[in-house]
Structure 1
Amino acid sequence: MSTFSPLREQLTEAATRFAADPGVVADILAGIVDDVDRALREELEIFPVCHHSPASALAMVRRLHEKQPRVIYLELCEDLRPILEELRNCTLPVALQAWAGEPDGFPATWAPLSVVAPITEASAEYQAIAYALNTPGVELVLVDRSTDHVFQWSPGQERDSADGGETEEALHGDAVGIEIGDLRPHFAELEEHLLHHGKVRHWSEWWDQYVEQPLAGADYDTYRQVMVLIGSLFRRLRRTGTDRDEDRERYMWTRMREHLAATGSDPAQCLYVCGAFHAASHVEQFGLAADAPYEITPRSATVWQYGLIPSSHSAIEEQFGLAAGSVSIAAATWAKGVRRGKLRPFVLKGQQTAKAAAARKTKAIAQSESPPVADQLSGFLSRPPRLDDLDESELLEWSVDIVRLARRNGYLASTADAIAIFETSILLAGMRNRARPTPYDFQDAAITCIEKDHVPGRRDVRRLCEILLGGDRIGQVGYAALPPLAQNVFDRLTPVGVVPTDRGVRRTLLDLESDPHLRPCSDLLWMLRRLLPVGAARPIMGTRELGERSIQESWDLALGKYQRDLVQLGYEGVTIEQVLEQRLRRAVNDPDATAAGALAAVEDALVYLGSARLADELGARAVELLAAERSVDEAPEVLRRIRLLLNYFRSTGAGLPQWCGTFVTAGYAHYCTLLPTAFTDEETGVRPVAAMLGFLFGMENLALSLGCDHTQLELAVRQSHPEAPAKVALLWATRLQLGLLTQAELRARCDDMLANPLVVPAFPQYLSGFVQAMDPVPTLKPFIVELLSKAFGRLPDSVLLPWLPTLITTLRGQAAELIPALTREAGRTFPGERAAVESWTPPWAKTASVAPAAVVAPGGPASDLLRAHPSACDALAGLLGHEDGWQEFAPGPNRSVTALLERHPLAAAALAAMLPEASPAGLSVASVAR
């Protein structure tokens, strides 16, 4: 007869009397009892735990002191075993991490692969690890599937759901979290029922009240039976997601049997630590007596790296869906349970303080066999849990301390509030059927009595209560446990006073002129600023750009706060320079890489690494990316960066590298080809088109010297036929720059637009195009000032006032960075004093009033000039389409030169004005012909 037969009969009878469907309920209840019976009768002792449970940790301490096992099998990824020794050099909480930057056998979109397993002091797994590593002759064996199998068994959609949130406090980032003993129902109706009848708000509070507190002082048999009972209940009610858990159970039992067969260990001296969910396993491989085979698939070719990263209570809560503050409350419960039970928890020797080490120098407890299993469940389930009496001194201390903390954070709290919190906590506990107020009751009371209607600072009362009860503890990895890269960083920053144990922000000043030996520290800090998140290394004074080096720098350094990110860099290389070089290469070879990104990588290679070799390699890749691009959206960034790089290389003694010339010629041909399409494409903005023209006009001299053809640009402009007003204005400016449109013709077109009431509403768009054209056509700035002046002078208020907001928003949205240059041009055009405005005549009005040169008597210096240089006159006539050549002193309308000068009197006048002894008034067509 089974030990639990009476309990099974009682539950079956209760299901028959009270359940609507007694058959199903009876099967579930009887199955739960059978699971408990099966787990406790197993030859290998199973220790069920819950993740970060103080009750589990307290029970583990008691059992380890009593049993003193020689082999501990722990549910943790088996390939994490080598780094457990490094926990001695750390301050908990920390997380074990496996990291792979280049997956081999997994989708490339999953990269980088990362798995973390957080460890806190108030956890049963840490107590088992500390006992095994501190005790000679004890073997610790991790039996869960490897980190490689974590991803082998995780389809893409499941992995996405397992990822942790990327928040400021989530130190684990997007790593997949591994936890022991996930005891959550995963059954919405059951969880809602438990929360409603338990009068609690979230699962963490229910677990603390109905599981943690009753089991904190329970005996070992009661603890085991209750935990297996809960694990079995949630397992049977879970509808989906058990296939992967069953594969893990088959994996673990197979590994344990292999180890026992290989070492010959006595199962009676072994302990199997696993989640309570797995303790109630139904797989055919369960138990040492089972002989069902299970084939473990080989690992992929992915190269994994292992290390430790800092963790925190909030990071654990965020990643595993726990209520805020629950891990801190669990830590406080653990500390109280240790004091009350006078227990000696296990701590790794490297983490022990002198006081703790002296307190633990007690004689060893003799090993004892496990007592026969007795039915403790019947009594536990039949009587209400024993609740602690009210601890008035503890509650009073909490109430006084929270008021003091609130006043420091800007709240107008007083002694009356402390009294109110004390009484309200007791009242809330009574309303929730609790003899003793829990930290959650105290937290609710404090929020009600202190916070009232607003939060004066950045911390609310809920956060202050978490700080009071233990705070968000953030772990730290010791220097000896850091990867070589992180150690190298701290070693190189020793001259500026940076030490690995720093947790706050350190202000440091570098006088690079008087202390040149600090320049390597400056170089390293700039690289850290490039690679680490904002705030890890923040420059207060000093810059680092192409060709610029500061003589003094001031930094705020918080490497201790961002230690996790620094450790992460250690997985990518041995030195910070190697990591930066690899990242730059990876960026330019990415499938989504762009020419602008490649030019940015070239700039970083020169600024941070000073490597011309790497810059040439990245620049060659930029040429390839530019030639392959079919979009011009990145043209403004390409133009800005290539201008910066060309100016830098021209200032150096080596001159332009070969890839720069290739980039300019390739860009000239590429943008000429795309120009007609970009002008007409509705999805291409005016700014990218203006940037293309800026590249073509700005780089034209260099491009032509390297073999490009100017005709290609003219053909591209002639083939462009935009419809958008801004692009039309940009095309007009381009044609003006190429000589295909005169300024008089452009002025006439704009005057016609201002006179046309149908075009005036779209005039801001035209003006935006002209402003964008200031970059490729800098000579257009006076004309834009003229155009704006005419618009404000000619348009009536009824048109101008509704039109003005559109003008402002258009210029601000499309050409904000060019407005200062336009403003400076207006300052040069208009008079500087108010009194001079009335007598001021616009320069464009003077140009319009200039009359053609008068025709006067024959003779003059111009005719002598033309007679002395007939070949120049022939060349000019040929450019204007007259091929008859020079006609010597042959007056009459049939002579080519005479006809040419008659047709263009202003040109003859301008030519004569260039001579110091001539003036337009003394020049005539007849004199030139003579």
Structure 2
Amino acid sequence: MSEPFGALRQQLVEAATAFAGSPGAVPGILSGIVDDVDRALREELEIFPVCHHSPASALAMVRRLREKQPKVIYLELCEDLAPLLTELRNCRLPVALQAFASELDTFPKDWGPLSVIAPITEASAEYQAIAYALETPGVELVLVDRSTDHVFQWQPRTSGASGEETPADAEPSGAGSGVAPSEADASDAEDAGALHGDAVGIEIGDLRPRFAELETHLLHHGKVRHWSEWWDQYVEQPLVDADYATYRQVMVLIGSLFRRLAPSDTERVTVDEDRERYMWTRMREHLATSGVDRADCLYVCGAFHAASRVEQFGTGPDAAPFEISPRTATKWLYGLIPSSHSAIEGQFGLASGSVSIAAATWAKAVSRSKLATFQLEGQRGGKKKPARPAAAPVETAPVADQLTQFLASPPDLHGFDEEELLGWSVDIVRLARRNGYLASTADAIAVFETSILLAGMRNRARPTPYDFQDAAVTCIEKDVVPGRRDVRRLCEILLGGDRVGQVGYEALPPLARDVYDRLAPIGLDLRKSTVQRALLDLNGQPELVPCSHLLWMLRYLLPGGAVRPIMGSRRLGERSVQESWDLSIGKHQRYIIELGYEGVTVEQVVERRLRRSVYAPDATAAVALRAVEDSILFLGSRRFTDELGARAVELLSAERTVDDAPDVLRRIRRLLAHYRSTEPELPSWCASFVTTGYAHYCTLLPTAFVDDETGVRQVGAMLGFLFTMEGLALSLGCDRAQLELAVRQSHPESPAKVALLWAAQHQLGLLPLADLRARCADLLGNPLVVPTFPQYLSGFVQALEPVPKLAAFVVEVMSDAFAHLPDPVLLPWLPTLITTLRDQAGELVPVLIREAGRTFPGTLPAVDAWAPPWTVAAPAPGAAAHGGGAIGGLGDLAGGGDGFGPGSERWDAAVPVMRLLAGHPSSADGIAGLLGVPGDGGASPGWSDLELLAASAAPGQASAAGLAGPGPSAVRALLADHPATGEALEALLAVG
């Protein structure tokens, strides 16, 4: 090997010395490494070791494929992903191969859904091998790694389902910058990094130390901040121009060292060895069945696996067999999803910008070497690069001699690309000025010189992109402005940016293609990753109504940001005339693709999700009512809606808590209003829900009143259901006595619930308003109770839900509280009142405000003369005004009041009252019975007298009837004995 690897040699030897356990073990480790390299390179089936997303590996792969032109390529990738590879022609890289399963078998249910992804970038050896195999006739590509089902079979049941392939010590984004990312950058990174979701990542060539201490040692002695920077400085840059023999030796050497220094008793080592046994078994099976010559094959795997020491290693006849377990019955679905550089970095614990830097290094190396890479049709844009002639084989020395030379060679300090660094320095200043930084030519010079200085301080022969990033941050980013991109992010953009891939139309599942087709009338290019505004005039363009319906369903199914309504709404009883949408479907293409795993159409996916939600183990009646509402809005299937409604009745009857009572009340009210306005009769499930809920909440009411874990809000919602649904429930056969009995059996202790109970008793007629007012006055007058009075008031506020007619009384009580509570009690309580009203009774505040507006004066001058209506003294019983043209009341009728008789003004005003009493004798008899006076159903002479009086329209008629003066009758006696009743009746009828 040549001198550029001297620094790497020194790093590896120091690591072996530090972690060998004893000084005498170092020679054994080094000799073992030589044996591993010799074993890998002597294997008849040529092993090509790679590192994931490594430009050096990709360049070496291109050179080797041009030279060897193999007929069979064995690739370390899940074998069941093979059918997806041909679809890469229709995509823009980077994309990820995905296997998805929501219907699990054998696996724990809390693992679902299961998802495995394998990202592909152009600057990777695996993509070059795939492109070569797909574009070259007669070449077979065989995936030999474990299936996605085995990925989870071999995973410990005690751990979660995601992240098995992800390093535990992932590198933080922007490590070492000393500057927090801006809000814009955080949003961009979050969107791009979420492309993989919580899928398990599978990638060829995970070449990284298997324990944190070794990685920390290498970073410390290499004077770098993170693993990506160490790999780029000590391996990537020297290997870019290395010959094939040197490349293979270095990669296997690194893999062997990491393998020998890693702990051997970890579960990860066991999984790695099982994967190697699996791959060698599959390759031997294929060689036996196909009969292909080993010399015409190429095995592409990670350098860690190339240094394998399992007994199944190799294709010789003495290799040990390995039994592969069958797959489970889990139904796996396959497809392609978009990926991005930042998503790959986040998935595999790489430093922010490292994949973008690798892409820039790849492009630079390809341009410098004039090497014709392999590309599929979708990536080369129709332009096919001419193939270069194969290079002549290179004569190499024996492996042991080359490794000895490599480990003993001193480092060679060579120059750097000064022109490239100058270009970066100038471009970063230009980009910084566009983003609001006060950068100048002097800053460009400073960035250039600082990059060289940092490289020298870190013992680097030439500045790396990481040195350039640190220099730019030091020289340009003198302040941090919220919302502005930081300089480190600008450096990433300059060096290639976060490239986001896209899956082509032909490679999409049927549902995703159906979405694109149905949204075509909008006239937007939905493949763009930018946010686009769609304006829908549903009256002027009726053909856009199906598009609107689909967009609302997508908003229900997709995460926020993919489809966002700006104007318009979709609720029961509403229809938008115009709508405005912000669409970012191209940016969230992954989620639409994953919808295709759940069904063929969007409607089918909505139905499946609604059914799954109501039959989930944690489903509640509120969840089922929400599903009913969504079914009406999106599907319009009466049969399916009735099925969900019947499930809501089952869930309500099975509930033993009332935590969701407010949500249940709100949703059933909305659904009842919808059905009453759109259908001639209520569905049967609605009637069952009301009757079941009435009996259910009556049963739980006494317990809820005394249960400390049940809040006032929940009890108020229960009472709201019972009182507002009472008329419908009684018409459907419920018994009101059940509610009265439940209220009488309730004995709460907390003040708020006591106030709720009083409100319920008042609604049932068990507690008159005067008595309720007297109880509140007693509370305010008791010094021992005054500190807890705010809690009573909170209960009264919550009582507006079941008893809205108490709004005036609540305003009265609140006014008395503000007037009489001492400041030590009132002031600490005010914040609690505000937060309680905001969090628990937001919809009740407008009721209080309207009532207060009617109660209190509307102008400032009126405040001085204003008196609370509840403090004004009531008139004395039986008192009636007779002056000033006032009309006498029923007392005049009873006792022949002064100036009262046929023809008088008061007589004419009293005629409607007399006609009312004469026309409804049973009502008057009922009132008389309540007052202790027996009634006779209108058979007494008094009733006939009253009828004659009511029939009188003129004095002449009265005289003809012989009624010049009032005669004795039972009605007159009744009214005379109970003048307050007459006054109340005439006030009700607006008489006098």
Relative to the length of structure 2, the TM-score reads 0.86
| 1:639-695 CA-partner distances (Å, limit 9, x unpaired) | 111111111111113432111111111111111111111111111111111111111
Q: Which residue of 2 aligns with 1:243?
A: 270
Amino acid at match of 1:223: Y
Give the share of equivalent positions with the same residue, in percent.
72
CA distance in 2, matches of 1:32, 1:636: 69
Q: Distance in 2 between matches of 1:593 and 1:775?
A: 26
1:225 lines up with 2:226 in the alignment: no
Residue 851 in 1 paired to residue 851 in 2?
no
Structure 1 residue 430: Cα displacement: 0.9
SS at 2:75's partner residue?
A: strand
- Alignment match, 2:607: 581
Partner of 2:374: 346
TM-score (norm 1): 0.91
User: For the residues of structure 1 that align with 2:60 and 2:308, how far apart are their CA atoms?
Assistant: 21
The letter of the residue matching 1:739 is G
Q: 1:304 aligns with which of 321, 325, 332?
A: 332
Paired with 1:412 and 1:814, the residues of 2 have a C-alpha distance of 50
Change (3 A) 1:708 1:900: farther
CA–CA separation in structure 1 for the residues paired with 2:67 and 2:508? 36
* Alignment partner, residue 572 of structure 2: 546
* Contact in 1 for aligned 2:162/2:199 (Cα 8 Å): no
Alignment check: 8 A CA contact 1:12 1:26 kept: no
| Aligned: 1:437 with 2:463 | yes
* 1:364–1:678 CA distance, 2 compared to 1 (3 A): same
Matched residue SS, 1:306: strand
Q: Report whether the alignment pairs 1:40 with 2:41.
A: yes
Give the whole-Å Cα distance in 2 for the aligned partners of 1:203 and 1:751: 74
Paired with 2:132 and 2:914, the residues of 1 have a C-alpha distance of 111
The residue identity in structure 2 corresponding to 1:459 is R
**Which segment is superposed worse, 15-24 or 326-335?**
15-24
Matches within 5 A, 1:548-697: 548-697=574-723
Tell me whether 702-711 or 286-295 shows the greater mean CA deviation.
286-295
Secondary structure at the residue paired with 1:564? helix
The 1:495/1:868 distance shift into structure 2, 3 A limit, reads closer
Root-mean-square deviation (Å): 3.1
- Tell me what 1:403 maps to: 429
Whether 2:342 is the aligned partner of 1:314: answer: yes
The yes-or-no answer on 1:116 pairing with 2:117 is yes
8 Å CA contact 1:490–1:498 kept in 2: the answer is no
Q: Which has the higher contact order (CA 8 A, sep 6+)?
A: 2
- What residue number does 2:386 align with? 361
Give the Cα separation in 1 of the matches to 2:568 and 2:530: 22
Shift of 1:783: 0.7
Displacement of 1:454: 2.0
1:63-112, CA deviations, whole angstroms, 9 ceiling, x for partnerless residues? 11110000000000000000100001111110000001111221111111
User: 1:175 aligns to what?
Assistant: 199
In terms of mean alpha carbon deviation, does 26-35 or 876-885 score higher?
Answer: 876-885
Matched, 1:478 2:504: yes
Q: Deviations over 1:785-818 (max 9, x none)?
A: 1112223334456765555445444444443332
Contact kept? 2:152, 2:161, Cα under 8 Å:
no
The answer (yes or no) to whether the contact 2:653–2:693 under 8 Å persists in 1 is: yes
Amino acid corresponding to residue 221 of structure 1 in structure 2: A
2:310 aligned with 1:286:
no
Is the Cα contact below 8 Å between 1:94 and 1:311 reproduced in 2?
A: yes
Distance 1:904 1:160, change over 3 A: farther
Which secondary structure state, in structure 2, belongs to the residue aligned with residue 99 of structure 1? Answer: strand
Shift of 1:24: 2.7
Partners of 1:13 and 1:727 in 2: CA distance: 73
* TM-fit CA distance, 1:160: 4.7
Q: Which amino acid aligns with 2:274?
A: D
Return closer, same or farther for 1:118/1:735 CA change in 2, 3 Å cut-off: same
Are residues 1:762 and 2:836 paired? no
Matched with 1:451 is 477
**Deviation readout 1:738-781 (Å, 9 max, x if unpaired):** 00101000000111112222222222211111111112111101
Q: Which of 744, 767, 770 matches 1:741? A: 767
Structure 1 counterpart SS, 2:238:
helix
1:187 maps to 211
Distance 1:462 1:596 in 2: 48
- Once the two structures are TM-superposed, the CA of residue 914 in structure 1 deviates from its matched residue by 5.7
Aligned counterpart, 1:819: 845
Aligned partners of 1:20 and 1:260: how far apart in 2? 42
Partner residue, 1:393: 419
Give 3-state SS (helix, strand or coil) of 1:539's partner. strand
Please identify, of 765-774 and 736-745, the stretch whose mean Cα deviation from structure 2 is larger: 765-774
Residue 26 of structure 1: CA displacement? 2.7
Distance in 1 (alpha carbons) for counterparts of 2:733 and 2:850 = 37
| 1:25 aligned partner | 26
Structure 1 counterpart of 2:216, which letter? E
Does structure 1 residue 792 correspond to structure 2 residue 793?
no
SS at match of 1:350: helix
CA spacing shift, 1:868–1:669, aligned 2, 3 Å: closer
Asked whether the equivalents of residues 690 and 772 of structure 1 are also in contact (C-alpha less than 8 Å), the reply is: yes
| CA deviation vs aligned residue, 1:332-390 (integer Å, no higher than 9, x gap) | 11112212222111111232134x41xx2246538969977544222222224545512
**Mapping of 1:904-919 within 5 angstroms?**
906-907=980-981, 909-911=983-985
Greater mean alpha carbon deviation, residues 514-523 or residues 758-767: 758-767
SS in 1 for 2:73: strand
Change (3 A) 1:160 1:263: closer
Residue identity in the other structure for 1:243: T
Does structure 1 residue 513 correspond to structure 2 residue 525? no
5+ residue gaps, structure 2:
1-8, 171-188, 881-890, 897-909, 943-969
- Change in Cα spacing, 1:288 to 1:882, as seen in structure 2 (3 Å) is farther
**Bigger Cα displacement from structure 2, 187-196 vs 221-230:** 187-196
DSSP-derived class of the 2:325 partner: coil
Gaps of 5+ in 1: 1-7, 891-895, 920-930
**Among 378, 396, 403, which residue is 1:377 paired with?**
403
Retained in 2: the 8 A contact 1:12–1:30?
Answer: no
The Cα shift of 1:899 comes to 13
Residue range with higher mean Cα deviation, 67-76 or 908-917: 908-917
Instruction: Look up the equivalent residue of 2:348 and give its one-letter code.
Output: F
Give the length in aligned residue pairs: 900
For the 8 Å contact 1:222–1:377, the answer to whether it is kept is: no
Q: Which residue of 2 aligns with 1:778?
A: 804
**Equivalent position amino acid for 2:861 in 1:** A
Map Cα deviations across residues 251-309 of structure 1 (whole Å, 9 max, x no partner): 11110000000000000000000111111111111111134121111111111111100
Residues 24-77 of structure 1 deviation map (CA, whole Å, 9 limit, x = unaligned): 333222211111111111111111111111111111111111100000000000
Distance in structure 2 (CA, Å) of the matches to 1:326 and 1:611: 51
- In 2, the alpha carbon distance for the partners of 1:25 and 1:897 equals 121
The 1-side partners of 2:696 and 2:342 are apart by 52
Q: 2: CA distance between counterparts of 1:382 and 1:530?
A: 64
* Contact 1:95 1:118 (8 Å CA) reproduced: yes
Q: 1:381 to 1:170 in 2, by over 3 A?
A: farther
CA distance in 2, matches of 1:814, 1:466: 48
Shift of 1:898: 13
Judging changes above 3 Å, is the alpha-carbon distance between structure 1 residues 213 and 690 closer, same or farther for their aligned structure 2 residues? same
The residue that corresponds to 2:147 in the other structure is 146
Which of 210, 222, 229 matches 1:198? 222
